């Protein structure tokens, strides 16, 4: 920024003229996008504004300048880069952090203001990245790289649930696996229940039609261990990947029956597996997605209509995988029946439930 601009801003700060400062910033930011160095100038202005407004707890002014910046990125079709991601994600994380502080102070109105702003700014940023994206997944959910930056920013301010939601849409399975091990898992469960954490996250990724990412996340989490695992749930997840690749609905039904006792350990699994049956196997089940993705991304993805058929597993399919010929339309199956069917076709050897010598549940 030039000397005249800095001098004017210093005067506003000295006299605590927040509204005047906001209008000055807004005008400068709008005009900056007409310059050759638009991106650099705009970022400097917004950072300077946020430092001032957050220091003075002028939340509405901070919200206005970030919202305007996000809108300008979209209107001017600005190319994506880490600098924009870092500024937007850092601002949104601060909204979440200040909202938590206001909550502890008993200031419900300020808390609501900041949380509403966080959701709006994330939505604006995602819409901007959708414009710039070329692949189908990012056109649906926004830039994976942006979600990665946003997730890491939420980790820094200890908003672990928000971080997890964005890691699910990120491009960094290794950092996500480390997060589940080191931060999120310790927050929710004792170490012995760590397999619930990873299977839940993997099933959520599958519900988002992110098969390759789900496989990568699982592989990173279980390293250096390999199949068969000591934990039954991990064996279930490993086998589920094989079954999804071949789109064998009969094996899917048999697999959920075989592992029903382990799957009952988390009520949310019912909803995720119902959704997976619909997306990957064409199973039409009237069962609601209890505990599932219905509210997971509330305020993040809006009212976007979900696709009814998954495709990510097809491009990831290995040459040896062949989709079995289906003679009839697959029907709904009981997710967790109270008793096994009278006649159960044998499960192929490669997906048999792995027996363990002692109960590790």
Q: 95 vs 359, which has greater pLDDT?
A: 95
DSSP single-letter state for residue 170: S
Band of pLDDT at residue 46, cut at 50, 70 and 90? very high
% the chain with pLDDT above 70: 78
The residues spanned by each domain of the chain are 190-297
- Taking a C-beta distance cutoff of 8 angstroms, is the pair 163, 151 a contact? yes
The H-assigned helical ranges of the chain are 3-14, 18-32, 38-55, 59-75, 82-104, 108-132, 136-141, 144-156, 160-167, 173-179, 185-188, 194-207, 211-222, 232-246, 249-258, 260-263, 268-281, 312-316
pLDDT for the residue numbered 353 = 55
The H-assigned helical ranges of 158-229 are 160-167, 173-179, 185-188, 194-207, 211-222
Cα separation, 65 vs 18, in Å, equals 12
Residue 230: how many CB atoms within 10 A of its CB?
Answer: 13
Smallest Cα–Cα separation from 211: which of 185, 248, 237, 184? Answer: 237
pLDDT for the residue numbered 134 = 85
Q: 22 vs 194, which has greater pLDDT?
A: 22
pLDDT for the residue numbered 190 = 54
Residue 178 has pLDDT above 80, yes or no: yes
Q: Residue 255, class by beta-carbon neighbours within 10 Å (0-12 exposed, 13-18 middle, 19+ buried)? A: buried
- Taking a C-beta distance cutoff of 8 angstroms, is the pair 49, 25 a contact? yes
- Taking a C-beta distance cutoff of 8 angstroms, is the pair 118, 93 a contact? no
State the pTM of this model. Answer: 0.82
Phi, psi of 355 (to 5 degrees): -85, 145
pLDDT for the residue numbered 352 = 54
- CA 287 to chain CA centroid, nearest Å: 24
Mean pLDDT on 210-225 = 96
pLDDT for the residue numbered 227 = 93
Band of pLDDT at residue 69, cut at 50, 70 and 90? very high
Instruction: Enumerate residues 6+ apart whose C-beta is below 8 A from 199.
Output: 233, 234, 236, 237, 266, 269
Inter-CA distances, 57 with 108, 337, 351, Å: 15, 55, 58
Mean pLDDT on 221-228 = 94
Smallest Cα–Cα separation from 65: which of 94, 120, 99, 23? Answer: 23
Residue 168 has pLDDT above 60, yes or no: yes
Band of pLDDT at residue 187, cut at 50, 70 and 90? low
Structure tokens at 292: 């599932």
- Taking a C-beta distance cutoff of 8 angstroms, is the pair 144, 169 a contact? yes
Mean pLDDT on 50-61 = 96
Q: What is the per-residue pLDDT across 249-274, written as a single tens digit (0 to 9) for each?
A: 999 999 999 999 999 999 899 999 99
Average pLDDT, the chain: 83
pLDDT for the residue numbered 333 = 44
Structure tokens at 344: 């159960």
Cα separation, 86 vs 145, in Å, equals 11
Inter-CA distances, 148 with 5, 89, 158, 242, 244, Å: 34, 10, 15, 28, 26
């Amino acid at each position: 920024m030039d000397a005249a601009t800095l001098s004017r801003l210093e005067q506003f700060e000295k006299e605590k003229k927040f509204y005047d400062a906001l209008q000055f910033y807004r005008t400068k930011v709008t005009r900056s996008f007409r310059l050759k160095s638009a991106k650099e100038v705009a970022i400097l202005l917004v950072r300077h504004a946020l430092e001032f407004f957050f220091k003075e707890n002028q939340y509405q002014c901070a919200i206005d300048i970030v919202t305007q910046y996000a809108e300008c990125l979209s209107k001017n079709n600005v190319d994506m880069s880490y600098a924009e991601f870092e500024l937007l994600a850092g601002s949104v994380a601060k909204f979440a952090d200040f909202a938590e502080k206001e909550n502890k102070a008993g200031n419900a109105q300020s808390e609501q203001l900041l949380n509403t702003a966080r959701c709006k700014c994330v939505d604006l940023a995602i819409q901007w990245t959708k414009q710039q994206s070329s692949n189908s997944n990012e056109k649906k959910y926004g830039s994976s790289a942006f979600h990665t930056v946003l997730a890491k920013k939420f980790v820094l301010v200890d908003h672990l649930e928000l971080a997890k939601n964005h890691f699910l849409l990120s491009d960094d399975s290794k950092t996500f696996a480390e997060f589940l091990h080191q931060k999120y898992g310790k927050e929710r469960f004792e170490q012995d229940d760590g397999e619930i954490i990873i299977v839940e996250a993997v099933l959520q990724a599958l519900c988002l039609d992110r098969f390759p990412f789900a496989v990568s996340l699982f592989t990173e989490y279980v390293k250096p261990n390999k199949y068969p695992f000591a934990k039954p749930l991990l064996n279930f997840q490993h086998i589920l990947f094989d079954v999804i690749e071949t789109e064998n609905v009969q094996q899917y039904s048999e697999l959920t029956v075989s592992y029903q006792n382990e799957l009952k350990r988390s009520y949310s699994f019912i909803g995720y597996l119902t959704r997976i049956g619909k997306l990957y196997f064409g199973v039409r089940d009237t069962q609601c997605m209890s505990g599932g993705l219905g509210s997971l991304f509330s305020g993040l993805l809006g009212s976007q209509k979900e696709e009814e058929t998954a495709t990510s597993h097809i491009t990831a399919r290995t040459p040896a995988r062949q989709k079995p010929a289906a003679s009839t339309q697959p029907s709904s199956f009981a997710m967790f029946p109270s008793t096994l069917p009278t006649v159960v076709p044998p499960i192929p050897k490669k997906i048999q439930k792995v027996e363990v010598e002692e109960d590790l549940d």
